[in-house]
């Protein structure tokens, strides 16, 4: 079961609120950026590697891990 717990959702929301730098890993991609928004079933990760920001909408079911700091 790949459901996100309330505690995990709250932690992701805090990272978004604090505009913390994060690395988000899915099966296919690793995204470096910041959470733009955290919803009930996905998170928007805003990645900017020197160019224009790109927003990735990542479903929680696709998350492998999230690292901050």
* pLDDT tens-digit readout, 11-33: 999 999 999 999 999 999 999 99
Secondary element (H or E) of residue 64: strand 63-68
Tell me the average pLDDT of the chain. Answer: 93
For the cut 70, the answer to whether the pLDDT of residue 42 exceeds it is: yes
Q: How crowded is residue 68: how many other Cβ atoms within 10 Å of its Cβ?
A: 15
The verdict on pTM exceeding 0.85 is yes
How much is the average pLDDT of 60-69? 94
What is the token pair recorded at 38? 């955290």
> What is the distance between the alpha carbons of residues 45 and 15, in angstroms, rounded to a whole number?
11
CB 42 within 8 A of CB 65: no
Q: Residue 28: helix, strand or coil by DSSP?
A: coil
């Amino acid at each position: 079961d790949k459901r996100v717990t309330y505690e995990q959702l709250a932690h992701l929301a805090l990272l978004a609120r604090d505009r913390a730098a994060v690395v988000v890993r899915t099966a296919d991609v690793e995204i470096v950026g910041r959470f733009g928004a955290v919803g009930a079933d996905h998170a928007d990760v805003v990645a900017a590697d020197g160019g224009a920001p790109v927003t990735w909408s990542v479903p929680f079911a696709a998350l492998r891990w999230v690292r901050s700091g």
